[in-house]
Homo-oligomer: A and B are copies of this chain.
Amino acid sequence: MRPTLKDVAKLASVSTATVSNVIRNTKFVSEPVKQRILSSMKELGYEPNIIARSLKMNKTFKIGVVVPDITNPFFSEIVKEVENSLEKEGYQLILSNSHYEVEREYLVCSSFISGGGVDALILVAPRLSSERLMAMIMGFPVVIVDRPSFSDDENFVFIFSDNYSGASLVADKLVSKKYEKFACIAGPEMVPNANARLEGFYDRLVAHNISEDRITVTRAEFTFDKGFSEMNSILSSADPAESLGVFVCSDIAAWGALEAVKEKGLRIPEDVGIIGYDDISFAKYLHPGLTTIKNPMIEMGKLSATCVLDLLRGDSAITCNSIVLGSSLVERGTI
């Protein structure tokens, strides 16, 4: 059996309270006593039982993190930063995947919240409607990452980049390059940021006096395969004589789209230009390098960790409950 605090106390001939105090340095303990305790701890190889501590303190020092799919580089880069930052503060990360399924997301989140196993939640790109989300997390500390704010309840904080304006950068670039036709392969409708991107792109296009009949819009899940097939169907119904500028709303789908274009034997960026979104680490390795909008994954990850701990401390150093980051275009070879 593992030694307990009681064992240490007995060996050092002191009370458990005193031992507890030296472990966490929470009260002054005289030097001789402290030394006796320290050496008893060492002798027994004592390590505090974190579960017992959790029960007593009503804190688990664990944060639940739910992402759609850890296999997607966009999410894994965020998670890595979160874990790294959390670890520094003595917190651990419990990971769950929602597999892009709304109901699974719901189940996972609510069991986190009602199970009492985590102190707070970080939800990355959740797809639940804002109503269900609100109802579910009421009273529980949550930070929502990569989704626009929909509430100013100070119990949760939003961390996201301005996807609408990120997407308008795309439109600017595409028209400046004088493409004759435009297309957008947008993300699923239930993803708020997918809509923000589509709107930002579309609005800016019409602001540039592009007539609507020169713009085609479709939707695809954030995967290589969907990007590939969606691009194929766009291409098959397009006039090959006209140059086409397309905005694919995630790098991973843009990769698929890129391959579709190459397979058709079209030139990039002359015949068709592609701009992605996110700037995942692989974007620069593609052929040609993928022009894209930089989504600040690292910053989002770090901030998520910071904010979730602030939330727990009641530290309202953050006066507002939403942090919106900037985005920028990184130009490579696909346009």
User: Which residues of A line the B interface, CB within 8 A?
Assistant: 2, 47, 49-52, 54-55, 60, 62, 69-71, 73, 76-77, 79-80, 83-84, 87, 92-97, 114-117, 224, 255-256, 259, 262, 281-282, 285, 287
Contact = CB atoms under 8 A, between A and B. Distances in A.
B285 A224 contact: yes
Contact of A117 (B2, B51, B262): B51
A282 B97 CA distance: 20
Nearest to A58: B51
A255 B115 contact: no
A85 to B, nearest CB: 12
A73 B73 contact: yes
B70 A117 contact: no
A79 B69 CA distance: 10
A92 B94 contact: yes
B55 A83 contact: no
Contacts of A224: 285
B93 A95 contact: yes
Given A71-B281, A80-B69, A51 B47 contact: no
A76 B70 contact: yes
Contacts of A115: 47, 50
Contact of A77 (B71, B117, B259): B71
A231 B52 CA distance: 53
B83 A79 contact: no
Nearest to A79: B70
Contacts of A84: 97
A259 B281 contact: no
Contacts of A114: 47
A70 B77 CA distance: 8
A52 B117 CA distance: 10
A62 B93 CA distance: 11
A77 B97 CA distance: 12
Contacts of A93: 94-96
Given A49-B116, A71-B80, A71-B281, 17 more contacts: A47-B114, A47-B116, A50-B116, A51-B51, A51-B54, A69-B80, A70-B70, A70-B76, A71-B73, A71-B76, A71-B77, A76-B76, A83-B95, A87-B96, A92-B96, A93-B94, A259-B285
A124 to B, nearest CB: 13
Nearest to A112: B92
Contacts of A60: 51
A116 B83 contact: no
Contacts of A96: 83, 87, 92-93
A92 B262 CA distance: 43
21 contacts: A47-B116, A49-B116, A50-B115, A50-B116, A51-B116, A52-B55, A55-B55, A70-B70, A70-B83, A71-B80, A71-B281, A73-B73, A83-B95, A83-B96, A87-B96, A92-B117, A93-B94, A93-B95, A93-B96, A95-B95, A256-B285
